[in-house]
Chain A
Amino acid sequence: GDTGTPKAAAEGSGSSSSSGGELSYALATSPDSLDPGKSGYAVSHRVFRNIYDSLVSELPDGTFKPWLAESWTKSADGKSYTFKLRHNVKFHDGTPFNAAAVKATLDHTQTLTGQARTLIGPFKSAEVISEDTIKVNLTEPFEPLLSGLSSAFLGISSPKALQQYGEQYGKHPVGTGPFKFVSWSENDQIVLEKNAEYNWGPPIADNKGASHLDKLTFKIVPEEATRIGSVQSGQVLAAETVPPQNILTLKNDPNIKLDTAITNGTPYTLYFNTSNAPWSDLKLRDAVRSAVDVDTIVKTLYLGTYQRAWSVLTPGILGYDASLENSVKADAAKANQLLDELGWTKGADGIREKDGKKLTLRYLESSPNREKRNDIAAIVQQQLKQVGVDVKLTITKDTVTPLTQGEYDLVGNSQVKADPDILRNLFRSDRVYGKGGYNYVKLNDPGIDKLLNQGYQETDPEKRKAAYAQIQQYVIKNALALPIYVFPYTVAHSSSVEGLKFDLLGYPQFYDVTIRK
């Protein structure tokens, strides 16, 4: 098992380092929009976290600290929250930050279908109580609310800019964050500059004033070799998502430092579609699980740089059930035995059949080969072939169509989220794919539904943990999913870059960064 907390960067604070300079940071993909209400991508979050501040801040231990909100209270029924807002905060466009701004942001969120909207859950309304007081009303209790509000997806936008730019706001983001948006040339770079007036930094930061960096430039470099190459050649100072094979070599490079943060949410997991015969059969799924040697997969592909996952939650998240670790193990003999018992017998080509039907497993994965997920598919295919299961791989850009039509037996997915409530989206019966949910498993179990509801409504953290533990155990026991790995977000940067930190979700924090001259 691993420590459940994101590992902060090796160096301490950069008080001794000089300030100024420009940090160029190579991203692997491009944000689609810098409107936090609109975009759901992690990469967008990495960029606009620097532009927007949130009402609250979630610490690595899962506790919440004030940020733009100085304090807050929750109503007894858990259905409304009242936030007292900080004074003297200004948006980059000069608009003052106040309750109206918060309301404008939350209302804006509701007009969209982004990640932000799910984070805010059963949102009903936002009421401006006074200039510095806002009340958020919910239709039902929603425990993950603060966690959601701490994310940059619910960062507060300038109401003036929202109105001014309308549909095009995503290209002209205005927040209160430590960096101001300067320019975005698509597929090339996003430039941010220091917000000199900033002095309302989050509690996890050491810095209390304006950022040390004058400029923060995100370069969009999808090609791995190019991205790593540009750090090595010094064209950029830092680059994200270093592939495992490069991690090993860069470790020996004296000019390059590597920082790693464990991301949180759900690990990369293969989900069975239980609505399709014959995979509705637990025993069959169990056979497959026994045949898949996850340890070998993770070791082979990630060369020891990634952790194996055991549950459908990542270890760093509230409610993670550590007891599931080592609960399953690869056992080809057991797999064969189970399959034999079920009456699937090997044919001439080594593939098992029953009643004239071959045992095939339709494995859906999206392309391109992000985090070597396509390679996982290749190995799984090989391993299952050993026990006589024919894996039909569909690796495509357009996973939407087969997912909507249910034409898959196994599909891979991972999610980034700070709260275990993420499981609701994955397992509650109404969270069907295409209707806002990711219930790939097509689970329809009232007991689980109840536990999931309990999970977000319950205010007692211990009870929440218990509910989620039960759910996790249920998933593993019923072999609904095969957790594979927990993604470590790895950044390679020049050794002159200091003070890079990561938040609970593994997102980089540039506020404290300094560049040694």
Chain B
Amino acid sequence: MKEATALKPIRKITWKASVSLRRISASSVFLYAACLVVIFMTACAIAPQWIAPYSPEVMDPNQLLQPPGAVHLLGTDYFGRDVFSLVVYGARDSLLIGVASVLVGGGLGGVIGALSGYIGGWVDVIVMRLIEILMSIPGILLALAIAAAVGPSLFNIVLAVSAGVIPNYARVMRSQVLTVKNKPYVLASRSIGSSELSIFLKHVLPNSLSPFLVMATVGIGSSILTSSGLSFLGLGVIKEIPDWGTVLSQGRGYLTVAWWICTFPGAAIALFVLSVNVIGDRVRDTLDPRKSGD
């Protein structure tokens, strides 16, 4: 494979070195771009009125389906709303859904997994069987059932999306806790006579968080995707200011005649998920004990 290049090893290595130098800057460029995207979208979520040129609620029947242009940067939708403003305002609910369902689902799953892993024994056996059972039920179906049952509202969507991710978080957290709880420093703390609760809270939990955090970062993106799936299946929230997933799923019928309506919210989702993933990867790298100082 590398026959030819290896002929002059020294020079080849130099070339490699310079490439990797270039790579470092390329990957940081990536990371910075990702951070910028996330920051910008968070800004949109917090203060859309400072960023969006129009109100997302204004429906102008004279400006239907306008392609992107000077007046409407990203065009207008079938109500005559400004797509750019929609995307900007949509950030709030989208991010809310993402973050909240990670908080709820991840929090719950994390706690269950951590406790089950730490306590072990029968508790663990039972919890793990339950989690396996939950895992065997496709997540979106759980979400679907809940969304169908409690009706569409932002809160319920969050609930529905969270329910599906609980077992994943529980699994990840549990396996990490299992590793950490056998670390010598945990034994050390126990040999000192620390209570199990304080060992759990002070040693095990903090040292088990990193894969969980990585998963959570990435999970924000996947939750947004799941909620857009619900929207697609007709269980989304219809609000005056729709989230990206809703715009995307409602605008998809216009793809051939007005591609911009759902392309931009779609791009917003993809960009956000992508950025969050890039950041998540980096978080993983920094939290990886093999790569950090200890």
Contacts and interface: CB of A to CB of B under 8 A. Distances in A.
Partners in one complex: yes
A284 interface: no
Contacts of B78: 245, 300-301, 375
Contacts of A395: 152, 238
Contacts of B57: 382, 385
A396 interface: yes
B250 A246 contact: no
Interface stretch (B42-50, B183-191, B252-260, B273-281): B252-260
Interface residues of A, number: 30
A187 interface: no
Max chain A C-beta neighbours (<10 A), residue from B79, B148, B234, B235: B234
A430 interface: no
Contacts of B238: 367, 374, 377-378, 393, 395
A375 B77 CA distance: 12
Interface string A227-246: 01000000000000001011
Nearest to B80: A300
Contacts, number: 67
Contacts of A368: 233-234
A167 interface: no
A248 B257 contact: yes
Nearest to A249: B257
Interface in A200-232: 224-225, 228
Contacts of A228: 256
Contacts of B240: 378, 381-382, 385
A324 interface: no
Contact of B255 (A225, A299, A367): A225
A381 B79 CA distance: 13
A138 interface: no
Contacts of A385: 57, 240
Given A367-B234, A374-B238, A394 B151 contact: yes
B79 A379 contact: yes
Given A300-B64, A375-B78, A245 B151 contact: no
Max chain B C-beta neighbours (<10 A), residue from A246, A377, A396: A396
A243 B252 CA distance: 12
Contacts of B235: 367, 397
Given A249-B256, A300-B79, 12 more contacts: A224-B252, A225-B252, A245-B258, A296-B61, A300-B61, A300-B80, A303-B64, A369-B250, A374-B250, A378-B238, A395-B152, A396-B152
Interface of B: 57, 59, 61, 64-65, 78-80, 148, 151-152, 233-235, 238-240, 250, 252-258
23 contacts: A225-B256, A245-B78, A249-B256, A296-B61, A300-B61, A300-B78, A300-B80, A301-B78, A367-B152, A368-B233, A368-B234, A375-B78, A375-B250, A377-B238, A378-B240, A382-B57, A382-B240, A385-B240, A395-B152, A395-B238, A396-B151, A396-B152, A398-B148
Interface of A: 224-225, 228, 243, 245-246, 248-249, 296, 299-301, 303, 367-369, 374-375, 377-379, 381-382, 385, 393-398
A-B interface, 4 closest residue pairs, ranked by CB to CB distance from nearest: A368-B234, A367-B234, A395-B238, A224-B253
